[in-house]
Amino acid sequence: MSYENPITGDQILRVGPVNPAVAAILADEFQATVLPGAEERNAWLEEHGTRIRVAVCSGKIGVDSDLMKQLPNLEAIVNFGVGYDATDFGQADQRGILLSNTPDVLTDCVADTAMGLYLDTLRGLSAAERFVRAGTWASGQNFPLATRATGRKVGILGLGRIGQAIADRLEGFKTEIHYHSRSQKEGAAYQYHASAKELAEAVDVLIVAAAGGPDSANLVDASVLAALGENGFIINIARGSVIDEAALVTALQQKTIAGAGLDVFAREPHVPSQLLELDNVVLLPHLGSGTVETRADMTSLTIENLRSYLKDRALITPIS
């Protein structure tokens, strides 16, 4: 279908840094506009904001409330990443602005990262590697005993696509899987719990795979961590906002939980200095989907969404 009012490059806005391959395609194929930095942004938006019809952003940056208000003719937001909590979805929904993300293509790599953190956190693999590098093993000391990873009771907080992929992998470790989601999943073969606290009470390891955003902010609070207990571990590959970070720091410092494996943090890239000093926590730089193959697939799907909207005013992977 052809439209009388086609969308041109000066009506496509790149918001913030995006994947380099996406940035190159936006510039070369679409001649998209780049939103200026903070000092020039408001003046630029006053002059040009009304012409923008499509925004392309990363899941980390998004199109927030203030920016969206300054784009009165915005029709669609094309998001690089599965998470979109940095975008004001409520305002977008009210205004009829379509929003896409990149689901499925990153599920396996994020689930693989969760399993890497699961093994590393329980078995202390990173700490053991530091033990060797520091020469401590060569000095005659033995590394402390760790926790068995096979056969544990594991809770998945958020049994969506990624949560299910994690569960599939955990089955190979002969684990007993429990879960909590906003609603019970029809056909799920695992034990459902009505709250995050009830889930934590029932398991040895709590894996956080819930979507970010206001609805899940601090879902794992001090009471959930207390329910997990001094022999319990927590793994987070979702969003840093899902865990009360101050409560987590306290629990790790006071050893009211046994350990944590974290790929995400509340104020990335800033990690609480207290966590850097602890050896019962594994810290990763939000690399959940960070493989060459997955980034290529995410790039392809992002650009396919943009092309589809320009051609047919429809997104391939819309968020409803």
Quick one: 205 and 142 in the same domain? yes
Of residues 206, 195, 192, the one with CA closest to residue 251: 206
pLDDT tens for the chain, residues 1 to 320: 556 689 999 999 999 999 999 999 999 999 999 999 989 999 999 999 999 999 999 998 999 999 999 999 999 999 999 989 899 999 999 999 999 999 999 999 999 999 999 999 999 999 999 999 999 999 999 999 999 999 999 999 999 999 999 999 999 999 999 999 999 999 899 999 999 999 999 999 999 999 988 889 999 999 999 999 999 999 999 999 999 999 999 999 999 999 999 999 999 999 999 999 999 999 999 999 999 999 999 999 999 999 999 999 999 999 97
Q: Considering the domain boundaries, does residue 36 fall inside one?
A: yes
The Cα 282–Cα 83 span in angstroms is 22
Q: Is 69 within a domain?
A: yes
Shared-domain flag, residues 99 and 115: no
Indicate which CATH number applies to the domain containing 88.
Answer: 3.40.50.720
Residues 95 and 111 in one domain: no
Note whether residue 255 is domain-resident: yes
Question: pLDDT value at position 2?
Answer: 52
Whether 247 and 117 map to the same domain: the answer is yes
Q: Name the CA dihedral angle for 106, 62, 88, 314, rounded to a multiple of 10 degrees.
A: -60
Q: What pLDDT does 5 receive? A: 87
For residues 138 and 190, membership in a common domain is answered with yes
Q: Do 274 and 304 belong together in one domain?
A: no
Check whether residue 266 and residue 168 sit in a common domain: yes
The number of beta carbons lying within 10 Å of the beta carbon of residue 42 is 13
Q: Phi and psi dihedrals of 115, rounded to 5? A: -70, -35
Say yes or no: 94 and 164 in one domain.
no
Domain that holds residue 207: 107-283
Measured distance CA(125)–CA(147) in Å, rounded: 11
On whether residue 3 sits in a domain, the answer given is no
With respect to residue 115, please indicate whether it lies within any of the assigned structural domains: yes
pLDDT at position 214 is 86
Say whether both 138 and 222 belong to one domain. yes
pLDDT score recorded for residue 281: 97
Question: How far apart are alpha carbons 79 and 1 in whole angstroms?
Answer: 24
One-letter amino acid at 226 equals A
Considering only CA atoms, which of 284, 271, 316 is closest in space to residue 121?
284
Report the catalytic residues.
239, 268, 286
- 34 located within any domain: yes
The alpha-helical segments, DSSP class H, found in the chain are 20-28, 38-48, 65-69, 89-95, 107-123, 125-133, 161-170, 196-202, 222-228, 245-253, 273-276, 292-312
Is 288 among the domain residues?
Answer: no
- Say yes or no: 192 and 279 in one domain: yes
CA atoms within 13 A on the CB side of 159: 26
Let me know whether 270 and 300 are in one domain. Answer: no
Strands (E), 168-208: 176-180, 191-192, 205-208
Looking at the structure of the chain, the number of domains it has is 2
pLDDT recorded at residue 3 = 62
Whether residues 156 and 241 fall in one domain: yes
The answer to whether residue 317 sits within a structural domain is: no
The per-residue pLDDT for 145 is: 97
Give the pLDDT score at 274: 97
